[in-house]
Structure 1
């Protein structure tokens, strides 16, 4: 049973990373006001939110399976306190940092209607720090995996997807952004 839990832990972590990558990509596209006839902005926002929730579910399963498995020394404390794990403290610590950042994002998102929009936006920007930390956690722990080439390729695909979305977001201006920039009311 322990090996099954290890496989479940690994699989749910991989799915969570892929979903998180999609969430970051959609976040970049939506914040850049990207839209098409087939994908209006509200559809991108809904997909962004739903994938974020799915990613959280898979991340929760990843953490539960990893701790319950018992194959490695991983405590509940090391899930939220960085760099205290008895197993691979640096790489597990990065996972804990990503979890802590994600918890801040989730809590402020749940309180979004009760906190100032600037505070929510500032904390939400942590997603752009959370994702590379989670990716580094994944890359660091892949070294001990027999499926290393496939997982490294997946990590590279995730990185390329985020870099491409970031270049679309920051490399172009939407008509809305351009109109605001040119507006005499901008001052």
Structure 2
């Protein structure tokens, strides 16, 4: 049973990282106001939200299965307080930190109507910290970190996010309000 939990935990961690990567990319695209394959902006926002929720579900499975795996040696405190883990405390701590950041992002997204857009946006910027911390966790703590397929996967995710972030920070990036104004004139 331990091997099955370990394999499921490992696989769901990789899928979660892939989905969080897609979510970051969709979030940046949505912020630009540009359509995705002729989908209007509200549809891109909906896909972004659903991918993020799916990533969160895979992350929950990742955590639960590894909690049941004796090799991972996880305790309940390891899910909340970073850097206390028995095995690889630094790398596990990065994972815990990423989960804490992700929880803050998800909670504020779910409470967006209550807390207001300003607080939501301020907390949502934590995504730019959460994603690389999660990537570092997978590189340092992942069983497959030295495998060629995982190196290619991590490199592809990194190149995609860094490219999108470079575009987001460039002069060519137009915030959605400017796109609407440009279309109206």
Task: Provide the secondary structure at the position in 2 that maps to 1:85.
Answer: coil
Question: Structure 2: any 5+ residue segments left out of the alignment?
Answer: none
The equivalent of 1:86 in structure 2 is: 86
Aligned ranges 1:100-179 → 2 under 5 Å = 100-142=100-142, 144-145=143-144, 148-171=147-170, 172-174=172-174, 176-177=177-178
Contact 1:19–1:54 (Cα < 8 Å) also in 2: yes
**Compared with structure 1, are the counterparts of its residues 176 and 114 closer, same or farther at alpha carbon in structure 2 (3 Å cutoff)?**
closer
Which aligned segments of 4 or more residues in structure 1 are displaced greater than 6 angstroms?
Answer: 178-181
Distance 2:177 2:115 in 1: 27
RMSD: 2.0
Distance 2:42 2:129 in 1: 25
Aligned ranges 1:18-97 → 2 under 5 Å = 18-36=18-36, 38-97=38-97
Distance 1:151 1:63 in 2: 20
- 1:65-98, CA deviations, whole angstroms, 9 ceiling, x for partnerless residues? 1111111311121011100000110000000000
Contact 1:23–1:51 (Cα < 8 Å) also in 2: yes
**Compared with structure 1, are the counterparts of its residues 146 and 59 closer, same or farther at alpha carbon in structure 2 (3 Å cutoff)?**
closer
Pick which of 64-73 and 9-18 moved more: 64-73
Task: Provide the secondary structure at the position in 1 that maps to 2:65.
Answer: helix
TM-score by length of 2: 0.90
Task: Provide the secondary structure at the position in 1 that maps to 2:83.
Answer: coil
